[in-house]
Chain A
Amino acid sequence: MTRVLELDHITKRFGAVTANEDVSLHLEKGEIVALLGENGAGKTTLMSILFGHYTADEGSVRVKGQALPPGKSRAAIRAGVGMVHQHFALAPNLTVLENVMTGTESLWKLRSDRAAGRAKLMELSQRFGLKVDPEARVADLSVGECQRVEILKALYNDAEVLILDEPTAVLTAQEAESLFATLREMAAKGLSLIFISHKLHEVMSASDRVVVLRRGRVVAERETAETSKEELAELMVGRAVQRPERLPARPGAVLLEAVDVSLGGKGAASLRGVSFRLHAGETLGIIGVSGNGQTTLAGLVSGLYAPDAGALLIKGHAPARYDVPHAIAAGIGRIPEDRNAEGTIGDMSTWENAVLERIWAPEFSSGGMVRRAAARAATEAIIRDYDVRGASVDGRIRLLSGGNMQKLILGRVLTAGPDILIAAQPSRGLDEGAIAGVHERLLEARGRGAGVLLISEDLDEVIGLSDRIRAIVGGRLSPAIPAERADAQLLGLMMAGDWTAAERIEAEGEAK
């Protein structure tokens, strides 16, 4: 084996904060290493040092034995190290080929050699099984395809070492699966890869070796074959993390009932005849691969859309109007799927975000004037009670990490004491510690008698939190099974659209 990349005793401080302390890491040819750590553990800083965006205070970087000059952003790329960023660095209005070719030729050349560029791109695309259309506009591509373009961009720069920063953060479970298959193939063909992640199952299934980073230090290094999820979770968080236990449910009256609802998806998948009941004091889990109507279902219950056919009854009555104010007035609390786009307004302050949803409530405004003092006090209470770290009442909410932003949203929703709580992908993109916190809050809401509608694509989450589980497939809901009967295999069948077993289980339940 040859060592293609070595990071030696890297230390980086930002003022009083030490982001990386004495971090050493190496990568062999053809190997996949997972860099595991919670948000804020220093993973991204480390990679930024490798790419010359930051200069390390101590330590050195060597690629194939050659030391990289510190602080030169082009040096790593020239040495054959490519980076696939978490937020894609792509231009939506340009074509795939244009995106890939930018900056690869001398700027002063009088003619860009597109034919050669296209040939090289197609060759790479074939060799690594990354299918793309070079003339497609990036804006027309799916997220998974965009990521392929990002990887091809790195390969086009002749990268032999590829670093992927949280590559699955924006992917659906299916896309993530196919990405890892591609990565393994790339490693088999001699590329060396590091992927940054905080998801244990990814690390376990896709890597050869795991380096665990905590608070800027390497705390452990393991061959993937010789470790376990549990060990890694403990190493990553620094203590044993327990996802909270679900106590038996005491279901009460029906709070929310959908009767044969059909709804054309607004830019997402449609619902085709969906019926379900949600009781007080229970959690109904809706599992499914993204793009099967979850977004539309969440929008329906949140009051964003009215059903095209059928009815949505809240506590037995159809609302006067299907809109957001009526939904909120009826006691529906909403945790939206995309917290940056729908859950918060990034450039507004924490307190504004905390009260905006209920700004017309007498508590927060009177006579057309905002009651700032009350709003700020309420926000301070949320920050304190829900342990929102890094937040100040007047700071822009954009600056919060995903986990803390989610805590704020939870606090905002739960302090209003909703009877019905709709949680769409509540732990997407969060790290282990934050997930446990979110789960605890959801169980708490259920415990005080709220009905929780949990929409998720994470099997563990759905099994762990739900009392009953339905799968959503092609805009239709499967029969409900009790969580006690659920396992990965059965849920897999249900998500694939095979509902025979589920129907039998539901019939048994009713016979009792």
Chain B
Amino acid sequence: MSVLLDILGSVGMWEAVLRIATPLIFGTLGVLLCERVGVLNLGIEGIMTFGAMVGWLTVYSGGDLWLGMLAAALGGAVFGLLHAVLTVVFGLSQHVTGLGITLFASSFSYYVFRLAVPTSSSPPTVEPFRAYPVPGLSEIPVLGPILFTQTAPTYLALALVAVLAYGLYRTPLGLAMRMTGENPHAVDAQGIDPIRLRIGTIMAGSALMGMGGAFLTLAAFNSFFPTMVQGRGWICVALVVFALWRPGRALLGALLFAFFDAFQLRLQTVVDGVPYQLFLMLPYVLSILALIAMARRARVPQALMQPYRRGER
């Protein structure tokens, strides 16, 4: 019992929660945007891998860290455009297309990585984002180190939550996006092109996914390896349901998952006699339970996964 309390009482554990949550926040917001306009984007796993690779490679080739993030965002957007063309313009199955993009983007990332870094026993590294203590705020006891001694992309992710929450619920564009996910015919009848809106939103959402991937290679670690996304993309897809398609709850969900993850990592080191794989399972099992609890209240966007064709009902 005291072991648990020690873990829960340590600042290091809570500081890790926000760090672990950051790529999930990016990814969940990305999926959330896509689904809000009615398109499921299962390409996320591959898009995050590609973002991780392209961000790292940009910095490895001498680029600035932020240039790396930008490259990841652009790379994500390109795959987003591919997904959008296939699912929105051609109206193909969103499941199949998304999985295809995940397979393609993952393999493509590794291919490009191998072209750039042909052989090495230990993967080369870059100098990652350093923690940036916010002047003044980081001095606050307990909260300071937890919340305000993070890397810059973490602050960006938190800011994006606020921006998206405001944007979706307080601006005409956000309303049009939500409407597109509910009833694209209604949007079209009001003179807005739902197809262009969908394409643009999917690209933006995929850009966020790419940045989430880049966080892994440019802030959480400092090198790239092909399996590093490790199912985080799928977790994001589930978190969107858990979040009931709201940005604020998406943050909450990402933090909750990150908390389980940070907790089990520390449990592994202190509890003996239990296979560590059981602890690895813990966040996923708890996520499924949380999902079951939340999903009953879900108000799924009504046009999710329905391709829009003009004049057809």
Q: Does the CB pair A106–B172 fall under 8 Å?
A: yes
Chain A residue numbers with a CB within 8 Å of B301 are 93
Q: A93-B299, A102-B175, A107-B173 are in contact. Are A77 and B191 (CB under 8 A)?
A: yes
Selecting from A82-90, A225-233, A268-276, the interface stretch reads A82-90
Give Cα A74 to B190, complex, Å.
7
Interface residue count on the B side (C-beta < 8 Å)? 25
Distance between Cα atoms of A103 and B192 in the complex (Å): 7
User: Chain B contacts of A110 at CB under 8 A?
Assistant: 171
Given A73-B188, A89-B183, A92-B302, A111 contacting B178 (CB threshold 8 A)? no
Of the residues B170, B179, B310, B313, contact of A102 by C-beta under 8 Å? B179
Asked if A94 contacts B191 (CB within 8 A), the reply is no
Secondary structure of the A side of the interface?
A: loop
Bound CA–CA A87/B186 (angstroms): 10
Q: Which of A84-127 contact B (CB under 8 A)?
A: 85, 87, 89-94, 98-99, 101-112
CB closest chain-A residue, reference B179: A102
Contact between A89 and B185 (Cβ–Cβ < 8 Å)?
yes
> Which one of B170, B176, B182 lies within 8 Å of A111 (CB-CB)?
B170
Please give, as numbers and ranges, the residues of chain A lying within 8 Å of B1 by CB-CB distance: none
- B residues 126-159 near A (Cβ < 8 Å) are none
Please measure, in the bound complex, the distance between the C-alpha atom of A94 and the C-alpha atom of B302, giving whole angstroms: 10
Chain B residues, Cβ within 8 Å of A94: 175, 178-179, 182
Measured in the bound complex, the distance between the Cα atoms of B190 and A89 in whole Å is: 10
For residue B310, which residues in chain A have a CB less than 8 angstroms away from its CB? 53
User: Is B187 an interface residue, CB under 8 A from the partner?
Assistant: yes
Taking a contact as CB atoms under 8 Å apart, the answer to whether A109 and B183 are in contact is no
CB distance from B304 to the nearest CB of A (A): 11
Is the CB–CB distance between B191 and A74 below 8 Å?
A: yes
Measured in the bound complex, the distance between the Cα atoms of B179 and A103 in whole Å is: 10
Q: Which residue of A lies closest to B186 (CB)?
A: A89
- CA–CA, A74 and B193, complex, Å: 11
Separation of A501 and B301 alpha carbons in the complex (Å): 53
> How many A residues have CB within 8 A of the partner chain?
29
Taking CB atoms, residues of chain A closer than 8 Å to B186 are 89-91, 99, 102
User: Which of B175, B182, B191 has a CB less than 8 Å from the CB of A73?
Assistant: B191
Residues B277-313 near A (CB distance < 8 A)? 299, 301-302, 310-311, 313
Interface residues of B in 49-86 (CB under 8 A from A): none
Task: Output the nearest chain B residue to A157 by Cβ-Cβ distance.
Answer: B190
Q: Is the interface of B mostly helix, strand, loop or mixed?
A: helix
Indicate which residue in A90, A101, A106 contacts B183 across the interface (CB closer than 8 Å): A90
User: Which residue among A77, A101, A102 has the maximum number of chain B CB atoms within 10 Å of its CB?
Assistant: A102
Nearest opposing residue in chain B for A113, CB measure: B172
A112 pairs with B191, CB closer than 8 A: no
Give the distance in Å from the alpha carbon of A157 to the alpha carbon of B191 in the complex: 11
State A53–B310 Cα separation when bound (angstroms).
9
Q: Is the CB of B179 within 8 A of A91?
A: yes
B182 and A93 contact, CB distance less than 8 A: yes
Contact of B189 with A by CB under 8 A: yes
Question: Which residue of A has the minimal Cβ distance to B167?
Answer: A110
Residues of B within 8 A of A92 (CB): 182-183, 302
Q: Pick the contact of B191: A103, A108, A109 (CB < 8 A).
A: A103
Asked if A107 contacts B179 (CB within 8 A), the reply is no
Chain A contacts for B192, CB-based, 8 A: 102-103, 107
Contacts of B302 in A (CB 8 A): 91-93
Which of B171, B183, B313 contacts A91 (CB under 8 A)?
A: B183
Contact B190 A104 (CB under 8 A): yes
The reply to whether B171 and A102 contact each other, CB–CB distance below 8 Å, is: no
Chain A residues with Cβ below 8 Å from B176 are 102-103, 107
CA distance A405 to B188 in the complex (A): 29
Which residue in B173, B178, B189 is a CB contact (below 8 Å) of A85? B189
Contact of A83 (CB < 8 Å), options: B175, B189, B313: B189
Measured CB to CB, the nearest residue on chain A to B178 is A94
Cα separation A98 to B180 with both chains bound (whole Å): 12
Measured CB to CB, the nearest residue on chain A to B172 is: A105
Say yes or no: A111 contacts B187, CB within 8 Å.
no
| A503 CB to nearest B CB, Å | 48
Chain B 7-47: CB-based contact to A (< 8 A → 1; otherwise 0): 00000000000000000000000000000000000000000
Q: Which of A83, A90, A106, A108 has the most CB of B within 10 A?
A: A90
- A77 contacts across to B, CB distance below 8 A: 190-191
Chain A residues near B170 (CB, 8 Å)?
111-112
Complex CA gap A472/B174 in Å reads 47
Chain A nearest CB, measured from B305 CB (Å): 15
Nearest-Cβ distance from residue A11 to partner chain B, whole angstroms: 19
Q: Which residue of A lies closest to B182 (CB)?
A: A91
Separation of A468 and B89 alpha carbons in the complex (Å): 57
A102 and B311 contact, CB distance less than 8 A? no
Query: Measured between alpha carbons, how far is A108 from B174 in the docked complex, in Å?
Result: 10
> Once the chains are docked, how many angstroms separate the CA of A486 from the CA of B73?
74
Min CB distance, B37 to chain A, in Å?
12
In the complex, what residue of chain B is closest to A138 when comparing beta carbons? B182
Give chain A residues whose Cβ lies under 8 Å from the Cβ of B172. 101, 103-109, 112
Shortest distance between the CB of A390 and any CB in chain B (Å)? 17
B173: A residues at CB distance < 8 A: 107-109
- List the interface of chain B (C-beta within 8 A of A): 170-176, 178-179, 182-183, 185-192, 299, 301-302, 310-311, 313
Sample of 4 further A-B pairs with CB below 8 A, known A94-B179, A112-B171: A73-B189, A89-B189, A90-B186, A111-B170
| In the complex, the 8 A-B pairs of residues with the closest C-beta atoms, listed nearest first | A103-B190, A91-B182, A74-B191, A89-B186, A105-B172, A91-B183, A102-B179, A107-B173
Please, could you name 8 A-B residue pairs with CB atoms under 8 Å apart, sorted by A?
A48-B311, A53-B310, A73-B188, A91-B186, A93-B182, A102-B186, A109-B173, A111-B171
